[in-house]
Structure formats: structure tokens, C-alpha cells
Amino acid sequence: MAILNPNASSSGVAAIGASAAFIVFAGQSLGMILRDVTAGATMIIEQWFNVGDYVKLEPFMDVTGVVERFTLRSTKLRSLNGEILWIHNQQIQGVHVTPRGIRTMAVDVFVSDRELGEKTLKEIIKAVPSGPTLLAKPLRIKSTERWSDDLWRITVLGYTAPGREWLIEKFFVNAIKNIDEGVRTKNKRVFVYEPITRFADPVADKKFMRAIRANKHD
């Protein structure tokens, strides 16, 4: 008569349970890896972005930075504050890519005295800080256009790192406004109207011009 060993039976059940758990875990891990690889392969084939690009990733609210590494499994970013971010490729639903890593912005100002306006703007430009994570290049006067006998439009162009647009939109523009606040006591105004700030990416301008022409034919 055979005597059953209850410990052996328990050990067998435990081994089967451990094997099943391992299979489930391995299947989930393999599935995650395959999803990452599939997403990464799709982004590479479709050339969503490259190493060195400045990107913003969807659906995240604040995941932005320069792409330092991109593999089939993951994407590594370095943000402007120096943080390093790792993201599984399967989590990326969309990408905003900033061409050349900079934003091109223009400020239009209107003056009645061209020489005084240009001289004042050059003095203000000297006070705006520049650097790789600030202004990619110092501000410069791009063009001066005569609108009438006593009105000129001066366009100032600048290139900022993404997230540093405030250097132009606020710092530079407020400096222009403060100039006029200081001279009003002398019953004079350097700038006739408030400055107009706008994005001025040349490629975007061309694309929109084509779209406008196409709509005119509809």
C-alpha cells in the first residue's frame, strides 16, 4: 500500500502556482516590450523626431526637452532646467517638434522719428540677456518701413529657446513701454503705438501663404 506524502503534493501545487505566476509576469513584460518596440519602430520609420530635436510629448502636460537618446524601447529627454526624463515609447501619442530648437519672434514698433526710434531700440536690445537657453541670438532690427510722412514701422527679430518667449513678449516689450512712460513728462513719445509681438517662423509663413492662395481659388 503506497503512502502519499502531503508535503510533496503541496510542493507540486506551489511549483505549479509559481510557474503560472512567472508565465503571466513574463507575458505581461514581453507584451510591454513589444508595444514599446512597435511604437518606437513606427516613430523611426515615419521620422517623428531625431536626437537633438526639442520636443513636447503628448498626452503629457509638461514633458518637454531636447532628445538625448532614442531607442526602440524608450526616449530620453533633457529639459531646460536640467532634468532627465525617460518615457516608454508606447506612452507617446503625439510629438510637437520645434524646428532648429528655437522660436522665431518679431516685434513691430511704430515711431514718428526713425533715427530716434532705431537708436532707442538698440539701447534696449543691449539690456536683453542672451545665451543658449535664453535668446539664441541677440535681438536685431530686421527692417524699417515708411508708412507715411510721419510714421515708420520698425521690425525687431529675435530667436528664443522654447519656454523663454517671455524675454521678448514681456521683458523687451515692457522695456519699450517704460521708455515712453519716462519721456511722457517731457510731452514726447518715442513710440506711437504699443508694440505688436508675433511669431515669425519663415517656413510657417510660407505654408500659410500657400494655404491662403489655395483658399482663394475655392
Of 9 and 181, more confident: 181
In this prediction the pTM is: 0.66
Residue among 30, 110, 128, 119 nearest 73 (CA): 30
C-alpha angle 77-80-84 in degrees, rounded to nearest 5: 35
pLDDT in tens, 133-177: 788 888 999 999 999 888 999 999 999 888 888 999 999 999 998
Indicate whether 76 pLDDT > 70: yes
| Domain boundaries 16-100, corresponding CATH code | 2.30.30.60
Indicate whether 9 pLDDT > 50: yes
Q: Which CATH superfamily is domain 102-216 in?
A: ACT domain (3.30.70.260)
pLDDT classification of 52: cutoffs 50, 70, 90: confident
For the chain, residues classed under CATH 3.30.70.260 are 102-216
Residue 185 confidence (pLDDT): 46
Indicate whether 61 pLDDT > 90: no
Residue 35 confidence (pLDDT): 85
- DSSP character string of 3-27: ---HHHHHHHHHHHHHHHHHHHHHH
